[in-house]
Structures are given as structure tokens and as C-alpha cells.
């Protein structure tokens, strides 16, 4: 038996990944041999395949052509599914026939898996790009254990209904033995969707508040939530070393007596970066006499081929410049806005150097930056986490200062509260959050998920297409 993980992108070099899905997958393979299948990131008109092996991970990657990249990845995945799942249907933009390409690419992923998987293997598909891969894999005749994890939010029923072909897409989830989501609220939304579109002969049964199953034609799919986490111990140790890096010392020297706020986000409209800047502007207007902190905002560019992301990038640059012009002087720049990509170790050092972590997504599946900020702190003199209540992490890290990123004045007040918070309170809040992060790690996350898959999997009887 081996574990086969399938994701849109595969990191097939030897570099440890800094966070997110890639890091989670690499950590999963530490305890089990397996194979990682997905897109190489390359675009070519003829399919280019590459195989490789690093430690106990075997890689199988392939290229996409330009149409597949445009229609499957940029359009249907990131201009249809992504905005709706992040409660931004106004960003939805459907290109004609992009869904057909989305189906075609999901079928291609399924064929790659079918060529490498045996029925005794465990197949684990990841994220919204590949919602239909399980359906197409079953059509090849694969009857083995099959799971799916959805890393981004599940929106409410009325928003799911705005997704073109939503019935076909979400009914495809019943091809899996196990479907995992991030939070209890995601699970509730998925249950309401299946209940609303329940077909004759389909049984939907809750299993307490933490799970439900859908049964049809003698086959059942188990649904539950599994909040993803971090390698807490590793980050604690890493931050102790990274805080001593020259770059961190130079940063501290440049701050002088001023305190540091930090934000680390991918450049995306769901991350609430504009909300964050407006709240910091309001803070500077109302509390400038007491504080002159510096906000270091690291925003890694992504999906730069999409107009909405290009507009966001230029808008944030203009907003940061305006705020600096209004509140800065020759010796003080309130916002240091950079698009530099930092390695994971350096980020933990920056987190540890900051008095405040400012995490303000308007909607987020989990947000591991919030968890990494907490794990990176000095337990004797920790910083304060300000966290959007719309991040999945808020359900676990409720000792943070929870904020509504749309309420600008309230966020500004929370910044002032964080900067003035006494040490005993900072220690108390941090200790409670760190205890949770030590108990629930990335290791316990994938161990629980795989254990549940093995419990709920059962042989599937599928006829091969055309047979």
C-alpha cells in the first residue's frame, strides 16, 4: 500500500516548502512512502512528463497547454470557484467553454492517477482545482480508497448556486469515500447544500455536529472537518535561530524605539489588504500622538495574469504611498510595503520581532500565517495576534484580538489595544493559543485524516467507461 497525493501543482525540487498546501503534503510523506501527482507548472502544446524521486516521495508531473492553463486554471478555478468560495461573486467571470476544459483537465489528472494507482493504495486529492478528479477516477474503474480535502471555504448555499454547473461539480464529491473541509461552518454549508439538492433514493444522515454522510446506490461518502495546522515545534525552534539573522538586526536598528506590526499575505483580494491599510491609516490619525509604529506588509504576488490581481497590486501601492505621504516624515515611513518573497525561516524571525501580527482576511479557509505568528513568539515577551473573525483559524485562536476587517474604526482600536497590552496579558493569551497549536499540529492533522479514510473506505463497484 502506498499513499498517492494529487494536487494542482507539485513541488518536485528538493527545497522544503515554506507553508500552505505544499508544505502540508511534504510533511505527510515524512511518515509514509508515496507518490505525488500533478501539474509541473510548465506550459507546452505537447504534454511533457517528468518523473523523479526525493527521499521517500516519487513525483509524477506533466505539463498543460496554453488553453488548459487559461481555461482550467486561470478562469474556471480562479475566476469562478475562487471568488465564489471567498464570498466575492462580483469577481466571477466565466469564459465560454472553460468548464469543458476544467472537466477535461480533471479527467487528465484522473487518468494519470489510474495509470499509477492500485486498488490497495490510498488516493488523496487536494483542493478546488480538482473537484471532479474523483468522479473521473471512478469512471476508469478504480475502486480503492479515495479522499478529497477542500482547503478553501465552502460558501453558503445561495452562493454555491451562482457557480455554473454547481450540481454536477458538487455531486461529484460523492465519488470519494471521505471529504474533508476546514471548519464546522464549512461542513454546515456543505450539509445544507446536499440536503437542498437531495435526490430520491439518496440518504443524508448527520453524525453529531462533526460529520455527516451521503449514501446512494449502496455507496456512502463521509464528510467531516479537519482544521489544517502547522509544524509547531519546528517553527518554535526556527524562530529562535532566525531572530538572530543580520537582516532582522538591521530591521530592529531601523525601527529605533518604534514597534513593529507585521502582515504576511499572498496578494489576493480575499486577504483584506486594503481593509488593513485603511484601518492602519485610521489608527495613525487617531493615535499618532501616542504611537508611531511601523507596519511591514509582505505581499507575495500571484496570478498576475488576471486583471483583478493587477488592479489590486497597483491599488495597494498607491494606497500605501498615500498613507506614507499623509503620516510620514523624512525619518518615519509608516508602511513598508514589499513584494519580496522571504524564505520560511526568515519569516519566523520577522514574526518573532513583531509586537503585533495583523491578519485581516475578508474570508479565508484557515490562514496558517496566524498560527505561525503565535508559534514564533518569545513565550516570555510575546507579540499580540489581531485576527479576522472570518479566517478559519479564528475558531481555534479565540484568545487573539478578533476583529471584523470591514469595521475600520474597530480594527484601529484593536491595534492601539495590542500595542498597549500589558506583558502579563500578552503572556496569558499566547500561552493558551500555543497550547492548542502544540496539541494540534500538521502531523496530527494528516494522521487523523488518513485514519478516517482507512475507516470509511470500502470497495466501490464502478463500470469502466465504455465497457
User: Hey, which residues are catalytic here?
Assistant: 151, 364
- 461 is written with which cell numbers? 463497484
Query: Residue 370: in which H helix or E strand, if any?
Result: helix 368-376
**Cβ(191)–Cβ(146) below 8 Å:** no
Residue 92 CA from chain centroid, whole number = 20
The grid coordinates listed for 77 are: 478555478
What SS3 class is residue 295? strand
Q: How far is Cα 161 from Cα 431, in angstroms, rounded to an integer? A: 42
Rounded distance, CA 275 to CA 206, Å? 38
Break the chain down into helix, strand, coil percent, rounded to 5.
45, 20, 35
Which among 11, 31, 24, 21 has a CA at the least distance from the CA of 441?
Answer: 24
Residue 358 to residues 128, 228, 267, Cα–Cα distance (Å): 27, 20, 15
CA gap 39, 81 in Å, rounded: 19
Torsion of CA 442, 231, 429, 283, to 10 degrees: -100
Q: Sign of the CA dihedral 83, 86, 368, 30?
A: negative
Which three three-digit cell numbers place residue 179? 471529504
H or E element that contains 25? helix 20-28
10 Å CB burial of residue 409 (0-12, 13-18, 19+) is exposed
| CA-wise closest residue to 86 among 153, 24, 30, 31 | 153
Classified as helix, coil or strand, 449 is helix
Q: Residue 347 and residue 64: Cα distance in Å, rounded?
A: 32
Amino acid at each position: 500500500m502506498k499513499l498517492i497525493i494529487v494536487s494542482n501543482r507539485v513541488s518536485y525540487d528538493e527545497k522544503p516548502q515554506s507553508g500552505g498546501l505544499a508544505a502540508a503534503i511534504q510533511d505527510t510523506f515524512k511518515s509514509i512512502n508515496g507518490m505525488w501527482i500533478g501539474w509541473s507548472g510548465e506550459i507546452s502544446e505537447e504534454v511533457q512528463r517528468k518523473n523523479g524521486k526525493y527521499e521517500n516521495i516519487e513525483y509524477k508531473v506533466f505539463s498543460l497547454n496554453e488553453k488548459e492553463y487559461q481555461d482550467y486554471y486561470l478562469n474556471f478555478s480562479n475566476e469562478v470557484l475562487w471568488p465564489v468560495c471567498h464570498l466575492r461573486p462580483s469577481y466571477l467571470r466565466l469564459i465560454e467553454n472553460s468548464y469543458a476544459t476544467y472537466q477535461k483537465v480533471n479527467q487528465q489528472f484522473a487518468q494519470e492517477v489510474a495509470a499509477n494507482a492500485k486498488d490497495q493504495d490510498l488516493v488523496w486529492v487536494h483542493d478546488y482545482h480538482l473537484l471532479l478528479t474523483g468522479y473521473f477516477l471512478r469512471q476508469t474503474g478504480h475502486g480503492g480508497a479515495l479522499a478529497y480535502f477542500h482547503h478553501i471555504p465552502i460558501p453558503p448555499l445561495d452562493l454555491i448556486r451562482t457557480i455554473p454547473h454547481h450540481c454536477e461539480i458538487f455531486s461529484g464529491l460523492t465519488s470519494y469515500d471521505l471529504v474533508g473541509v476546514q471548519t464546522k461552518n464549512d461542513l454546515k454549508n456543505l450539509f445544507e447544500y446536499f440536503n437542498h439538492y437531495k435526490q430520491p433514493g439518496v440518504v443524508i444522515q448527520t453524525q453529531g455536529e462533526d460529520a455527516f454522510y451521503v449514501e446512494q446506490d449502496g455507496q456512502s461518502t463521509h464528510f467531516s472537518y479537519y482544521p489544517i495546522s502547522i509544524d509547531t515545534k519546528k517553527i518554535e525552534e526556527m524562530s529562535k535561530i532566525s531572530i538572530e539573522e543580520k537582516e532582522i538586526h538591521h530591521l530592529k536598528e531601523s525601527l529605533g524605539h518604534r514597534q513593529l506590526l507585521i502582515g504576511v499575505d499572498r496578494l489576493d483580494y480575499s486577504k483584506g489588504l486594503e481593509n488593513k491599510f485603511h484601518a492602519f491609516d485610521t489608527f495613525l490619525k487617531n493615535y499618532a500622538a501616542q504611537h508611531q509604529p511601523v507596519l511591514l506588509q509582505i505581499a507575495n504576488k500571484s496570478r498576475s495574469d488576471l486583471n483583478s490581481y493587477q488592479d489590486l497590486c497597483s491599488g495597494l501601492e498607491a494606497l500605501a504611498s498615500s498613507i506614507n505621504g499623509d503620516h510620514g516624515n523624512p525619518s518615519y515611513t509608516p508602511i513598508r510595503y514589499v513584494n519580496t518573497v522571504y524564505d520560511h525561516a526568515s519569516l519566523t524571525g520577522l514574526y518573532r520581532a513583531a509586537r503585533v501580527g495583523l491578519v485581516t482576511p475578508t474570508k479565508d479557509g484557515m490562514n496558517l500565517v496566524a498560527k505561525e505568528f503565535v508559534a514564533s513568539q518569545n513565550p516570555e515577551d510575546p507579540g499580540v495576534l489581531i485576527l479576522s473573525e472570518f479566517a478559519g483559524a479564528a475558531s481555534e485562536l479565540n484568545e487573539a484580538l478578533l476583529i471584523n476587517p470591514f469595521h475600520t474604526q474597530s480594527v484601529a482600536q484593536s491595534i492601539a489595544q495590542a500595542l498597549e497590552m500589558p506583558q502579563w496579558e500578552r503572556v496569558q493569551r499566547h500561552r493558551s493559543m500555543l497550547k492548542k497549536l502544540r496539541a494540534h499540529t500538521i502531523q496530527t492533522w494528516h494522521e487523523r485524516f488518513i485514519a478516517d479514510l482507512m475507516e470509511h473506505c470500502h470497495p466501490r463497484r464502478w463500470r469502466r467507461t465504455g465497457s
